[in-house]
Amino acid sequence: MENFFTTRQKICLGAITVLLLLNIFIWQQVWILALPRHLKVRVLDIGQGDSIFIETPSMRHIIIDGGVDAMVMSKLHKLLPFWQRHLDVVMLTHPDADHLNGLLYVLKKYKVDYIIWNGVVRGGEQYQVWLTLLEKAKKQGTKIIITKAGDQIKNDKVAIETLHPFINIEGRDARPKNEDNDTGIVSRLTYGKNSFLFTADVSSVVEEALVKGEATLTSDVLKVAHHGSRFSTSENFLEAVHPDLAVISVGAKNTYGHPAIEVLQRLQNFGITTLRTDEQGTVEILSDGENIKVIK
């Protein structure tokens, strides 16, 4: 048998096999690209914390917060092609561990075009690593943006507008307890007629200020603030946002008692469908610009 194929024939056969496999792979990719595209917003199941991964119809990738540890990486590995080493936007709403830590792993692996955050000062080792990674990214061409209300990023028909902080708060000391949550970035994503409101961990103090402000709050989907803490998601705010769907990013059996019974009750009173990452796992929402659909 060993003389059946000459070495030359073996090389030819090998090359043909590789070409055939490559051909199948390329056609598979062409087929994927030809599929109708939706906006995909995924509130990732990363335990106690926040991490939201957005894929736009033109295949831009945005991540808002990274959760408390490396779990976000296994989620991204499943959602992105294995060769992808690039993300368009990384947003850190505020540098608390349950939003920041996972992004440190993200920044070590992915090259990012824009990093958006609030620029506040925190203590702790992870915060120092964040600053070092920002410097490194900047040297590699990443644009670092300290955002404030009115700023907008836009691609195709998808836009994300910052609603809070109201002013640039770069350098503000967010170390005193309870100061940090209310420095968080609140942003509203729109795609056609659909809209999503991301509220970080802000308390009802910020929510009330937003209600009194001029920005449009009405949204189809609300990412409930601060993992369902009882100090957020006030009735006034729910009335102003008027969402059909609320998503709570929360860890199972967390020690904070999140989400609060009062918040769940308020959401129910307003007739808002509420999904929780501790019960449903990752919550995936599709939008075609007209309607939203939850993928089960």
Kindly list the distances between the CA atom of residue 14 and the CA atoms of 17, 20, 28, 162, 195, in Å, as whole numbers in the listed order.
5, 10, 21, 54, 51
**Cα angle vertex 117, ends 193, 69, to 5°?**
100
Number of helices (H), then strands (E), belonging to the chain: the values are 8, 15
- Check residue 180 for interaction with Zn ion (CB under 5 A): no
Contact string 244-273 vs Zn ion (x = CB under 5 A): ------------------------------
Residue type, 291: N
Binding region for Zn ion (CB under 5 A) out of 16-24, 55-63, 143-151, 196-204: 196-204
The H or E element containing residue 161 is strand 158-164
Options 45, 88, 201, 207; binder of Zn ion; rule CB under 5 A: 201
Q: Among 42, 52, 57, which Cα is nearest to 192's?
A: 57
Structure tokens given for 296: 């089960």
Binding region for Zn ion (CB under 5 A) out of 71-79, 106-114, 199-207, 282-290: 199-207
Options 98, 182, 220, 278; binder of Zn ion; rule CB under 5 A: 98
Size of the site for Zn ion (CB under 5 A): 2
Tell me the closest approach of the beta carbon of residue 104 to Zn ion, in angstroms.
16
Strands 245-248 and 273-276, bridge-based pairing: parallel
Binding region for Zn ion (CB under 5 A) out of 97-105, 132-140, 188-196, 282-290: 97-105
| CB closer to Zn ion, 88 vs 98 | 98
Q: Look-up: residue for tokens 């410097």? A: 135
Tell me the closest approach of the beta carbon of residue 116 to Zn ion, in angstroms.
17
Residues between 131 and 150 with contacts to Zn ion, criterion CB under 5 A? none
